[in-house]
Structure 1
Amino acid sequence: MAQLTVLILIQNKEEGLLSIADHREKSLVPVLGGAKVIDYYIDPVLSSPFDRIKILIDRDMTGIKDYLIYTYNSNKIRIISEKDIFQSFLDLLRLKKGDGMLILRAGGLFLPDWKDFPEFLKKIPSGTYKITTKNKHTIGYFLRETKFARKLKNFGPSIDSTSPKTDQLWDVLVNAFETTAKIKEYDAKYLGLLTAFEYYTVHFSLMRNIEEFNNYRNYLSSASVNDENLARILGSGFVKNSHISSSCSIEGYVEGSIIFSNVKVGKNARVLNSVIMNNNYIGERAVIQNAIVCDNSELFSRVSPNIGEDARIGEDDCTGANVLYPGQIYGGVTLIGQNVEIPKGFKISRNCYIASGVDKSTLRFRNRVKVGDSVLPA
């Protein structure tokens, strides 16, 4: 019987995400409360009619390799991490007659009807196809052709050993078949996550339709929690129109926001229209609005807040864009990088960027960060 395989290429870099993607592949960026980008591909495929999943990664991508081995234990999954990644890629593309292979890049959120999508692919005849959404965004490539690998052999010498190879392999596919592959449209949502601003807006786009949001999360085994890990909204806490992930403690006011796991919101603190990623502690009376606060790498709950008491983030004029990164930060969104501590009473305006690893003492020398300004590590 003909088999249907999914080949997933890990995306390494996405410069437009700035600090959101620091120290990790883009496929490991957490979204929608904590599940990684790669989880939105693997979990649904495991419970769908696809026969096999093959994941191609660079040999030096130890972070995502460890994550996949630790998180997934299935005979349907095979992780390929060879020295000659291009030859491994060609070997994977040698299909038996009638077999089909869907090639995806785990760089954005691909959100189809996973029960219907394999049936759609099974009806496609022999050939090479570019699968797009109705609005012409490329989802991936589908092959039902045994001689496909021969067409790519001449691209091998163009692979640069100093750059992420899986990113280059995707470019090879695009260059080889962008104009020659037949186009098949499928009605699905694809969210690219190309910039910090898009990362912000994607969360609220899905939050506006909570039923759709929960439907996508239901595919994810990594999104499940037990009663011991449920969030706690304490006496003075109040939550409105927000998504609160596991192991959070809310004593302040949260509205229109997405709070990832292990976040504390102190008494009388306010979080409005923001994305607060893992392991942050927002001090008492602090105000965060229209912001992304990236995750903190501490393994245990913080004793003292990394967003200091009475700090104010994301206020003032929302027009314009960040001066240094106008294509990534605009629309009034402020980005606070990983492992950043904001001093007590410190003020950060809108369209600002505090890069990962900026030292607390660096901020103390300033009264505030003005609209559109950035603070980078010394």
Structure 2
Amino acid sequence: MSCSMLGIINATSEFDTFQTLTAERSLASLPFAGRYRLIDFMLSNMVNSGITNVAIFTGQEIRSLMDHLGSGKQWDLDRKRDGLFLFSPDGNSSNEIFGSFAHLARNMTYFLRSKQQYVVIANCYTMGVIDFCKILDRHLDTRADITEVVHNGRSIQTYILSKDLLLSLFEQYKNQGYYSILDVVHDTRHKFQINRYDWTGYIAIIDSLNRYYQNSLDILQPSVWKQVFSKNDPIFTKVKDEPPTRYKKGAKVTNSMIANGCIIEGEVENSIIFRAVKIGKGSIVRNSIIMQKCRIEENCVLDGVILDKDVTIGDEIQLKGTTESPYVVKKGTVQRGVNQS
């Protein structure tokens, strides 16, 4: 199925509330739900909607994102015609607002070469399943100039418009004072017809540390899981070959998501455990997010905690956060001998 759409993902967004989780990676590449990155959801939505030409406009921290996306093979975007394209910032454009019309227009050749008639512009931190073909059908039926996607009345900063209109906005953005598609939508002076499409499926906007923590644990609810991870609209990600998780004698797991390659000797409750994590004997992990290759040694208690990748927690350590303020441990930290809350 093809909807004749070009996909644009703005992966430049950054929010200070994520603390150290986005210090060395872009928000787009933030790990989520045990084996995914945030960008996987919007990218998979585009692919599942028949979009075969996707441009990702990045910010400065791109190493982790580029490593994750590679050639786009996992999304069937490593192709001779169309495919996956990454556009990073120009080092000579330090004053440019990345993700703006100026950022997009600097890569005008890409848009001129594309054959698609319509464009969907989306952010990198919306989690859920969206069928862009349905939205395009409504866009055409209503003869709108721009269709803005909303969820429960709130914009998810996703838009559909014709490529010709986007190119014309590139040409006049300085004169009109339009620096992004958001400026166009919010301006009441123009004559563009802007319609809203209220998407009724499950949507989560991951724009703060608290939302990241809450929506991660919401995935553990069967009603949410079934909406996000369906057989008809799979979420694709980078595949890694890991052995199955080993549950040793005394291990106890309830209402949790455990990725491959882990060794579980302690107790895990209401938590998300990424790949290759070791949880030692007598340790208890509750209401927590433990990222890849973390090591939790014996007789620890972690409650309301987010461990970034490659963290080591020594014997008998207790770490406690709250639902409103989870306790975050920086990537690569080795913590021994001091309890925190």
TM over 0.5: yes
* Counterpart mapping for 1:78-227 below 5 A: 78-81=84-87, 83=90, 85-90=103-108, 99-109=117-127, 111-114=128-131, 117-125=132-140, 126=143, 127-144=145-162, 146-155=164-173, 172-180=180-188, 181-209=194-222, 210-215=225-230, 219-222=234-237
Structure-2-length-normalised TM-score: 0.80
TM-superposition CA deviations, 1:140-172 (whole Å, max 9, x none) = 11102623322343546999xxxxxxxxx9x62
Which of residues 269, 279, 286 is equivalent to 1:272?
Answer: 286
State the alpha-carbon separation in 2 of the partners of residues 223 and 278 from structure 1.
Answer: 14
Instruction: State the one-letter code of the partner of 1:338.
Output: K
Report if the CA contact (8 A) 2:256-2:271 is conserved.
yes
Aligned position for 1:373:
none
State the alpha-carbon separation in 1 of the partners of residues 275 and 175 from structure 2.
Answer: 44
State the alpha-carbon separation in 2 of the partners of residues 67 and 98 from structure 1.
Answer: 26
Where 1:64 maps in the other structure, the secondary structure is: helix
State the alpha-carbon separation in 2 of the partners of residues 312 and 119 from structure 1.
Answer: 49
Which of residues 232, 256, 260 is equivalent to 1:242?
Answer: 256
Which of residues 312, 318, 339 is equivalent to 2:332?
Answer: 339
Q: CA deviation at 1:343?
A: 1.0
Gaps of 5+ in 2: 94-102, 189-193
Instruction: State the one-letter code of the partner of 1:56.
Output: F
After superposition, the CA RMSD in angstroms is 3.3
State the alpha-carbon separation in 2 of the partners of residues 2 and 283 from structure 1.
Answer: 51
State the alpha-carbon separation in 1 of the partners of residues 147 and 295 from structure 2.
Answer: 48
State the alpha-carbon separation in 2 of the partners of residues 220 and 34 from structure 1.
Answer: 11
Q: CA deviation at 1:261?
A: 0.9
Aligned position for 2:78:
74
Where 2:169 maps in the other structure, the secondary structure is: helix
Q: CA deviation at 1:56?
A: 2.5
Q: CA deviation at 1:313?
A: 0.6
Q: Does 1:232 align with 2:233?
A: no
Q: CA deviation at 1:29?
A: 0.5
Report if the CA contact (8 A) 2:8-2:122 is conserved.
yes
State the alpha-carbon separation in 1 of the partners of residues 297 and 266 from structure 2.
Answer: 9
Report if the CA contact (8 A) 2:29-2:39 is conserved.
yes
Evaluate the alpha carbon distance shift between residue 30 and residue 172 of structure 1 in structure 2; reply closer, same or farther with a 3 A threshold.
same
Q: CA deviation at 1:232?
A: 1.1
Aligned position for 1:307:
313
Q: Does 1:260 align with 2:268?
A: no
Identify which range, 120-129 or 265-274, moves more after superposition: 120-129
Q: Does 1:36 align with 2:44?
A: no
Q: CA deviation at 1:312?
A: 0.4
Q: CA deviation at 1:294?
A: 1.3
Aligned position for 1:16:
17
Where 2:139 maps in the other structure, the secondary structure is: coil
- Give the share of equivalent positions with the same residue, in percent: 16
Identify which range, 257-266 or 121-130, moves more after superposition: 121-130
Structure-1-length-normalised TM-score: 0.72
TM-superposition CA deviations, 1:221-277 (whole Å, max 9, x none) = 437676x52111111211111000111100001111110111100000000111111
State the alpha-carbon separation in 2 of the partners of residues 142 and 174 from structure 1.
Answer: 12
State the alpha-carbon separation in 2 of the partners of residues 214 and 223 from structure 1.
Answer: 16
Report if the CA contact (8 A) 2:3-2:51 is conserved.
no
Which of residues 280, 298, 303 is equivalent to 1:284?
Answer: 298
State the alpha-carbon separation in 2 of the partners of residues 233 and 217 from structure 1.
Answer: 31
Evaluate the alpha carbon distance shift between residue 29 and residue 207 of structure 1 in structure 2; reply closer, same or farther with a 3 A threshold.
same
State the alpha-carbon separation in 2 of the partners of residues 262 and 277 from structure 1.
Answer: 9
Count of matched residue positions in the alignment of Structure 1 and Structure 2? 313
State the alpha-carbon separation in 1 of the partners of residues 118 and 5 from structure 2.
Answer: 5
Report if the CA contact (8 A) 1:294-1:338 is conserved.
yes
Evaluate the alpha carbon distance shift between residue 22 and residue 66 of structure 1 in structure 2; reply closer, same or farther with a 3 A threshold.
same
Aligned position for 1:7:
8
Evaluate the alpha carbon distance shift between residue 80 and residue 309 of structure 1 in structure 2; reply closer, same or farther with a 3 A threshold.
closer
Aligned position for 2:265:
251
Q: CA deviation at 1:93?
A: 5.7
